[in-house]
Structures are given as C-alpha cells and as structure tokens.
Amino acid sequence: MKSAPGEACGVFGVYAPSQRVSPLIYFGLFALQHRGQESAGIATSDGRTVTVYKDLGLVAQVFDEAKIAGLDGHLGIGHTRYSTTGSTHWTNAQPIHRQVGTTSVALAHNGNLTNTRQLAHELGSGVETSDSALMVEAIARRIDDERSDERGLEKAMFEALPTFEGAFSLVVMDQGRVIGARDPHGFRPLCLGELPEGGWVLASETAALDLVGATFRRDVEPGEMVVIDATGVRSLRPFESTDPRLCIFEYVYFARPDSRLHGQSVHAARRRMGATLAEEHPADADVVVPVPESGIPAAQGYSAASGIPYADGLVKNRYVGRTFIEPSQSMRDRGIRIKLNPIPETLAGKRVVLVDDSIVRGSTTRQLVEMVRSAGAAEVHLRVSSPPYRWPCFYGMDTSDRSTLIAARMEIDEIRRHLGADSLGYLSLPGLLAATEADGFCTACLSGEYPTPVDISSSKFVLERTT
C-alpha cells in the first residue's frame, strides 16, 4: 500500500533459439507488474523482422492471446512503465522502436538519466523528449549499418553508454541479439538467468526468472554490458570505472519480497529491518500490525524481536491496481478505504505498533493512523522500517520536490503530531544498511549524498514550509 513512492519500470529480455518468446515475456512482465502499471509493451524478432506491441494499461489489459500470437520470434524484450519523466501517454510507452537503415532497434529502460538536457542539446532534440527516447536516438546515431559482422548495435551501444549519466538498466535488441546493460553505479537491478531448454533471460528482478522457469546465474554488474546472440553470452565493459550504488529502496520497498538482491533474500532483509527497528524503537504495546503488503516482513521482524504478538489488522484490496475509472467524489472522500480496510476485532482496545516501510509525503499515513484509531485502537505507535525521506530522487523514483517530503519540512515530533500517532520511530540509516548484509548503496534520498552530480538549482530542491 503506497501513496508514494512510485517506481520507474520493469524490464525483461529473452534469447531462446528453440522457442517463441512472446509468452515468456508476457509472464516475465506479469512478475514485474509492481514496478510499473501505466503501460506495457513487448518487442520480438524472428531474426529478420522486429515486431512491437505496446499500450497504456496493465500487462493483462494490454495483451491477450491474439496479440501474443502476433508477436513472433525467438528473441525479444518487454517493459512495464511507471512514468517519472515524460507524461502518461501512448508515445512514452516502451519498448521504443527505431529503424536505422536495415537495423531495427528496440529499447526498454528502467531508471532516470540526470544529463537529459545536455544529451538533448548534443542530439539537437527537444528537451521535452523522454530520457529513454534520447537514449535510443544516441544509440541509433552510432549504428553503422554497413558493418559486415552484424555487430552494429553492439558497437553503437558500447560507444553511446558512456554518454549517459544517471540511472539505467536497459534491455535493447535488434533483429538478432538482446543486450542488457547497467549504469556504472547499478542504481537499478538487472539479472541474468538461463532457461532449461536453452536460452537466456534478462530481468529487473529474480522473481521474474522464477516465473518463467529460468535459473538465476548472476547479476549483470554495474557498468557491464551483456550481449546475447547465437554465439552465446559475452560481457563487455564500456565504462572506465564503476562505483556500485544499488538503490537502497529496492530493499526497503520496490523489489518483490521473493526476489533476491546481492544474492540475498529481500524478505529476510526486510525482517531484519523490523528486528533492528524493535531494538532502536521499542514500544509498550499489545499487538504489531503491518501496513500491507510491503510492511509485512518488517512487522514480522519487529514482532519476533520484541515478543509483541503479530496480527493482521488491515486488509488490502488486492485487485485495486491502477484503475482507469475515476472514483466519484464520495469515494475519494473515503480515500484510503478503497485500498485498505481495518479489522476492528484485532485493533479494538489495543495498543498497536503499526509498521510501514516508508513515509514519503505522509498524507496516506495520516489517514491510516486515523483509520486504525477509528477501528478502536487505544494507542497507535508508528514504526517505519527506513530512515526519514528528506531529499528528492533523481534516479527513477517518483518524488517530485522537497516541499512534498514531510521529513524535509518537519522535525520527527512534528511529524508524529501531524500524523496523529502516540509515538513515532524510524529505522536509523546504519540499522538499515546493516540489515541488508551487503554494501554499495545509493542512500541519497535519506542522506543527501548523491553518487552523481545533480542539478541543485533544480525545482526538486525547492523547500517551502507549507505547514
């Protein structure tokens, strides 16, 4: 359950010489639906022709059997989109396709570039063009269609990638190959799996490999480019240096709990976050209740470490998803109840520890605390399994500017009062990092330390005291 943050896309790619890949890509995207619900698309190739189908909507809304049947071929890529740059309309749906002479290129992108303005200037494009479209343009301009070894796309990407700054996990294809690439910081995940009947899969998360029956082989490394074609898998290094900085929010919230990052179970890491939170911010309470679904593992960890019983006190309406029907005003007034409903039997008369994974803007959390109280809770002790979110993200998370971030505007006790909680405790940054049992993270939105230069004159940094 989230009012924010939003995430920026899931990507998937397959090269499987013995089978039609469009059904695999469909199911891969299904597993990555949580990463973006605005549009979905698939591009495939039979070795000669690239075919693309994409539209606004959820994967199951965009594709049916006939559309999947129309996507022929043994290699392809797919994308689910959550817009962070570029508005929500069809032209921003991915994969983006470009024809360069006889070479047909399709690209799917997860992340956000930070040098879009400079790239647009160099390419002579309008700055309103999405960063993903600029990437396609930069690659297309470098394609030498005359190359006799048919490695035009590979060479073009090798040259173009170092001109991109910021966050990008890419899957790109032409008629004969699928290429995966990660920026030198590796802000967004990308992994490589192998199919039992032969062939390779690239996916934003390991859960998507599981769903199509592929075995996880390894993560694509930060700064690595992986080329998959008839000769097998090749690894190239287009960047001079790398500095791994996986987005810490992949662990906190974005990634599915059944995915693995750095070879670690995301679910287990979230439980450890909850356990550390219990040590850092104990509470005198009767019951630990998660905000479903991403707060569940942390609440379990909190309960196990504190000895306070765990109970489901809120039920998520699982099928809300992204609705294209505007709710009526009276329904909007009911706000959060469209997504969550309390179980009064769990909450009435109890001192409740309410565990959520993050608070970004605070508006949903405030409604949530109010809802738990109105269901009869005697006290509400809010516990958050990540530190205060104080700085804007430039790498693909949908946080517009600092003014919208509650922890940028208020001290902790002011936030507590604003949210109507009896107590409030956030997990510390060292506690969060220790819970991952890994290192090499971006923590910019929590620490203000950005791994790449960002435009501090940007409107994102504007901070007005609005309350």
Residues at the interface with ligand SF4 (CB under 6 A): 187, 247-249, 393, 395, 397, 442-445
Retrieve residue 142's tokens.
């470098």
**Pairing between strand 96-100 and 103-110?**
antiparallel
DSSP letter string, 92-153: G-SSEEEEETTEEEEEEEES-BS-HHHHHHHHT--TTS-HHHHHHHHHHHT--TT-TTS-HH
Cα–Cα distance measured from residue 111 to residue 33, given in angstroms and rounded to the nearest whole number: 16
Asked whether 315 and 23 are in contact (CB, 8 A), the reply is: no
Cα–Cα distance measured from residue 300 to residue 272, given in angstroms and rounded to the nearest whole number: 9
DSSP letter string, 424-437: EEEPPHHHHHHHHT
Retrieve residue 106's tokens.
């399709």
Query: Which amino acid is located at 122 in the chain?
Result: E
Indicate if 9 belongs to the active site: yes
Query: For 68-72, which contacts have Cβ atoms below 8 Å and span 24 or more sequence positions?
Result: 68/22, 68/23, 68/26, 68/42, 69/22, 71/22, 71/25, 71/42, 71/43, 71/44, 72/20, 72/22, 72/44, 72/46
Tell me how crowded residue 128 is: count the other CB atoms within 10 A of its CB: 11
Cα–Cα distance measured from residue 108 to residue 113, given in angstroms and rounded to the nearest whole number: 14
- Min separation Cβ 358 and ligand SF4, Å: 10
- Min separation Cβ 255 and ligand SF4, Å: 11
- In this complex, which beta carbon is closest to ligand SF4, that of residue 179 or of residue 442? 442
Residue 376 φ/ψ region, left for φ over 0, alpha for ψ in the -120 to 50 degree band, beta for the rest = left
- In this complex, which beta carbon is closest to ligand SF4, that of residue 38 or of residue 183? 183
Asked whether 32 and 203 are in contact (CB, 8 A), the reply is: yes
Asked whether 7 and 82 are in contact (CB, 8 A), the reply is: yes
- Min separation Cβ 393 and ligand SF4, Å: 3
**Upstream peptide bond of 5 is cis (omega within 30 degrees of 0):** yes
- For residue 362, what are the contacts with CB-CB under 8 A and spacing of at least 6? 406, 415, 418, 419
- In this complex, which beta carbon is closest to ligand SF4, that of residue 188 or of residue 381? 188
Tell me how crowded residue 422 is: count the other CB atoms within 10 A of its CB: 17
Whole-number CA gyration radius for the chain: 23
Cα–Cα distance measured from residue 38 to residue 9, given in angstroms and rounded to the nearest whole number: 9
- In this complex, which beta carbon is closest to ligand SF4, that of residue 55 or of residue 449? 449
Cα–Cα distance measured from residue 78 to residue 94, given in angstroms and rounded to the nearest whole number: 8
For residue 382, what is the enclosing H or E element? strand 379-384
Active-site residue numbers? Answer: 9
